[in-house]
Amino acid sequence: MKNNFRVESAEILCVGTEILIGDIVNTNAAYISSRLAEMGINQYHQEVVGDNPDRLRFYLKNALDRADCVIMSGGLGPTYDDLTKETVADLMGRSLYLHERSLERLESYFKGRQIKMTDNNRKQAMIPEGSVVFDNDCGTAPGMAVEDEEKGKIVILLPGPPRELHPMLDNSVIPYLSQFTESVFVSKNINIFGMGESTVASIVDDIMQTSTNPTVAPYAKDSEVRLRITAKGSDKDACASLCDEMIERIRQTEVGRCIYGVDTSLEEALVARLKEKGLKLALAESCTGGMVAKTVTDVSGSSAVFDGGVVSYANEVKKSLLGVSADTLDCFGAVSEQTASEMAEGVKKLMNADIGIALTGIAGPGGGSEEKPVGLVYLGVSGKNGTFTKELRIRNNGRDYVRVSATKQALYAALCEAEIF
């Protein structure tokens, strides 16, 4: 390994008062963490500090005492309160110099966008001496690694905006760090729908408690449960095999019937299944207002299985485009199994699809009644063997929760329907 450095552990230190006051969510830490985990670099602690050089210096020094590498994000911007570089240079006894390549890149970035480069942008090309510089392909601030050869420590500085940080991490930082690592981790996630975390955990409790390599851990998120299987070793393929054996073992338990995939999402599993079977999906959405279509089309290549959908917020649209009968709407209301059923049939026919999925319900916070409370949603599925509906009674944990839960149920229903073709 280069310079006899070895990176076995890392800490993430994000800089920004906007994170501390809750103005932005710290997605950078999650992104960096998952990449480090894949490389087998241990992380025991991560933290956030505001734009204050004294505190930044204090926490950075402590983090460097504990970990081989500290990865920082934020504070490389053009404004006066961006002080990460200066603080790191000071702590590590380096001075800053104007890095010519970075200055040229900055100038061409602004020229290409026909924007005038302001003086404060020039500050972004100042680099601590002896650093490895990472070009920024999506923004202005370059990243850098400052190596302390004596102590065997590395500080990596990355820009704060996620769209700049992600490609820099993937394309520059991971290859750079891989010079200093040995063992690998492989993780696989078992995706489960329709069974709660407590139930899953109690079924696989024995396995979780007794397995050390791979380890098994449950996570709950947005009405789904995942079991994360993580194997450690010196070889990627051997780790992957350990994971696969464990996945097979868990498939044999009661959890098995609720497993819909491994390392996937409901929408990815759905698009893949529809492709495999050569089926087309059509969507009619009332309460979810396009969220199901948006989620399906989040998947690249979804155009092969999805021609289109209708967002039918108003009854008039349910009638004119989807062919829901006026009688149905009058007698049973827009939020009813009859309407869901006609919407599903209507959109399937309209789009000339194999499977039509419809949702109509009360997303809240307004619009609920005792008879039809917020969270009541009807799901219609029109497919191979006619049309059926399902009444969902989603807990009223807010509009977003109701809509996301209804969307997940619709995706799962479509996946199950595709299965029987």
Q: How far is the CB of 163 from its own copies (least distance, A)?
A: 5
Q: Please check whether residue 406 is in contact with residue 377, taking contact to mean a CB–CB distance below 8 angstroms.
A: yes
Residues between 5 and 44 that touch its own copies (CB under 8 A):
17-27, 29-37, 43-44
Residue 218 interacts with its own copies (CB under 8 A): yes or no = yes
CB 278: neighbour CB atoms within 10 A? Answer: 10
Q: Please check whether residue 49 is in contact with residue 74, taking contact to mean a CB–CB distance below 8 angstroms.
A: no
Residue 59 interacts with its own copies (CB under 8 A): yes or no = yes
Residues between 278 and 317 that touch its own copies (CB under 8 A):
283, 285, 288-294, 296-298, 300-303, 306-314, 316-317
Q: How far is the CB of 75 from its own copies (least distance, A)?
A: 13
Residue 1 or 257: which CB sits closer to its own copies? 257
Site size toward its own copies (CB under 8 A) is 107
Q: Which amino acid is at 3?
A: N
Q: How far is the CB of 84 from its own copies (least distance, A)?
A: 15
CA 148 to chain centre: 34
Alpha-carbon span 216 to 64, nearest angstrom = 30
Strands 386-393 and 376-383: antiparallel
Residue 358 interacts with its own copies (CB under 8 A): yes or no = no
Nearest one of 88, 29, 20, 11 to 57, comparing CA atoms: 88
Residue 19 or 376: which CB sits closer to its own copies? 19
Q: Please check whether residue 361 is in contact with residue 392, taking contact to mean a CB–CB distance below 8 angstroms.
A: yes
Residue 178 or 198: which CB sits closer to its own copies? 198
Alpha-carbon span 84 to 363, nearest angstrom = 44
Residues forming beta bridges with residue 358, ordered by sequence position: 284, 380
Nearest one of 5, 244, 289 to 146, comparing CA atoms: 5
Q: How far is the CB of 186 from its own copies (least distance, A)?
A: 12
CA 83 to chain centre: 29
Residues between 246 and 265 that touch its own copies (CB under 8 A):
none
Contact flags string 90-129 toward its own copies, x per CB under 8 A: -------------------------x--x-xx--------
CA-CA-CA-CA dihedral for 406, 412, 413, 417, to nearest 10: 160
Q: Which of 50, 53, 323, 373 binds its own copies (CB under 8 A)?
A: 50
Residues between 323 and 342 that touch its own copies (CB under 8 A):
none
Q: Which two tokens stand for residue 62?
A: 């402590």
Residue 15 or 415: which CB sits closer to its own copies? 15
Residue 365 interacts with its own copies (CB under 8 A): yes or no = yes
Residue 241 interacts with its own copies (CB under 8 A): yes or no = no
Nearest one of 330, 329, 386, 388 to 358, comparing CA atoms: 388
Q: How far is the CB of 130 from its own copies (least distance, A)?
A: 28
Residue 147 or 274: which CB sits closer to its own copies? 274
Q: Which of 159, 161, 214, 361 binds its own copies (CB under 8 A)?
A: 161
DSSP 62-81: HHHHH-SEEEEES--SSSTT
Q: How far is the CB of 29 from its own copies (least distance, A)?
A: 7
Nearest one of 86, 42, 91 to 68, comparing CA atoms: 42
Alpha-carbon span 383 to 348, nearest angstrom = 8
Q: How far is the CB of 305 from its own copies (least distance, A)?
A: 10
Q: How far is the CB of 121 from its own copies (least distance, A)?
A: 6
User: What is the residue whose two structure tokens read 């009541």?
Assistant: 376
Residues between 174 and 213 that touch its own copies (CB under 8 A):
187, 189, 196-199, 201-202, 205, 208-209
